[in-house]
Chain A
Amino acid sequence: MKSVLILALATALELVVMLAYGATSDHIGLIKTMAGEVTITRNSQTIKAAPNMKLMEADIVQTGPDGKAGLILDDDTVISMGLNSRIAIKSFMFHPNDKKLSLIARIFHGTVSFLSGQITKLAPEQVHIETPYATIGLRGTHVLIQIN
């Protein structure tokens, strides 16, 4: 009887862990438009991107010498990348109900247009764009960034 109970508990715990994992592994956006070569690096693995491919938190998106890409995040943020550009969505939380809001993007190099979405409206202090030499804070707007 005791062992059945333990088994039941273990199964329940596993379910909770799975649910928690499922919640964090939900997609946070997608590659809406693209041209040329574009890759996504996730968990140290790099794959070729295709239009409509879903994005996860911590993904790195890279465009090749002939590549460009347009991303839409779940809070309506629109990011577009020119040739030879590399960015990471380091942190993305969009749960207005629980007031869990955060967006940290990093631009390594290239040309990027960042059109802010709802997180910037609801919690501007939680939105940062990191670049090699400076960090950008936003109050609801459209920013263009070039890093040689």
Chain B
Amino acid sequence: MAKTTRFATLIILMALACGCAKRSLVALVPDPDGKSGSISVSNEAGSVAISTPYRATTIESAKQQPTAPENIGKKTLDRMFAEALSIQPARPLHFLLYFENNTTLTSDSVQLLPGIMAAIKERNSTDISIIGHTDTVGSKEYNSELSSNRASTVKKLLIEQGAEADAIRTTSHGKENLLIPTGDNVNEPRNRRVEVVVR
């Protein structure tokens, strides 16, 4: 803990001491779901990796290697990045709707529509993506059209329930983007789907 405080104080002192241009700090923090990955920070003088959250490296110039990562602590980072974090939008929400062999939603998926509408209203969303998919039964052309029709069907349903048409973008991937990998001409209900992304 003492080390954390010392490091934080050092950074603040250094920032005050030199009005130096472009000094940078890069810190790793956990994702909202609690996991954290890793980062590498590199320039011509060298590279450092950080894989432990709340550690940071500082970079003094393009010709100096990034410093060895040190624990800076959540508190200091929360303070330094308070303004940026205060405006951070919620991550987009993804929904999967499933279909019978045609453009009819399964009854389970119909029940998801109110939840999608609630998300659109709650986020005041003006940017909704609808992406249609099929399983591998039938030709490429047939599935391309079917996936497009599925996306349009969902768009129509959302508009009927109050979504703005010009907030919606539809695309379709035919049988090219399987959720469950299968061979050709395989009837797979989990691939007959439309993905809705609410931003």
Write the residues of chain A forming the contact surface with B, with a CB cutoff of 8 angstroms: 30, 32-35, 52, 54, 68-72, 74, 76, 78, 80-83, 85, 96-97, 109, 111-113, 115-116, 120, 131-148
The reply to whether B84 and A82 form a contact with Cβ atoms under 8 Å apart is yes
- Among the listed A78, A116, A131, which residue makes an inter-chain contact with B89, where contact means beta carbons less than 8 Å apart? A78
- Among the listed B30, B88, B199, which residue makes an inter-chain contact with A113, where contact means beta carbons less than 8 Å apart? B88
Cα A138 to Cα B61 in complex, Å, equals 21
B181 contacts chain A at the CB level, 8 A cutoff:
no
The reply to whether A72 and B127 form a contact with Cβ atoms under 8 Å apart is yes
Given contacts A131-B24, A133-B59, A133-B62, contact A143 B87 (CB under 8 A): no
The reply to whether B42 and A131 form a contact with Cβ atoms under 8 Å apart is no
The reply to whether A68 and B83 form a contact with Cβ atoms under 8 Å apart is yes
Given contacts A113-B81, A143-B28, contact A137 B89 (CB under 8 A): no
- Among the listed B24, B38, B42, B126, which residue makes an inter-chain contact with A145, where contact means beta carbons less than 8 Å apart? B24
The reply to whether B38 and A111 form a contact with Cβ atoms under 8 Å apart is no
Question: Which DSSP category, helix, strand, loop or mixed, fits chain B's interface?
Answer: loop
| Residue ID in chain B nearest A54 by CB atoms | B127
Report the minimum CB–CB distance from A133 to chain B (whole Å): 4
**Please, which residues of chain B bring their CB within 8 A of the CB of A69?**
87
Cα A141 to Cα B197 in complex, Å, equals 20
- Among the listed A111, A136, A144, which residue makes an inter-chain contact with B41, where contact means beta carbons less than 8 Å apart? A136
**Please, which residues of chain A bring their CB within 8 A of the CB of B81?**
82, 111, 113, 144, 146
**Please, which residues of chain B bring their CB within 8 A of the CB of A78?**
88-89, 91
The reply to whether B85 and A113 form a contact with Cβ atoms under 8 Å apart is yes
The reply to whether A134 and B42 form a contact with Cβ atoms under 8 Å apart is yes
The reply to whether A139 and B39 form a contact with Cβ atoms under 8 Å apart is yes
B180 contacts chain A at the CB level, 8 A cutoff:
no
**Which 3 pairs across A and B sit closest by C-beta, in order of nearness?**
A141-B37, A82-B83, A82-B84
Cα A88 to Cα B43 in complex, Å, equals 19
Report the minimum CB–CB distance from A80 to chain B (whole Å): 4
Interface residues of B in 1-36 (CB under 8 A from A): 15, 20-32, 35-36
The reply to whether A30 and B43 form a contact with Cβ atoms under 8 Å apart is no
| Residue ID in chain B nearest A53 by CB atoms | B126
Report the minimum CB–CB distance from A65 to chain B (whole Å): 11
- Among the listed B23, B30, B42, B87, which residue makes an inter-chain contact with A148, where contact means beta carbons less than 8 Å apart? B23
**Please, which residues of chain B bring their CB within 8 A of the CB of A132?**
22, 24, 62
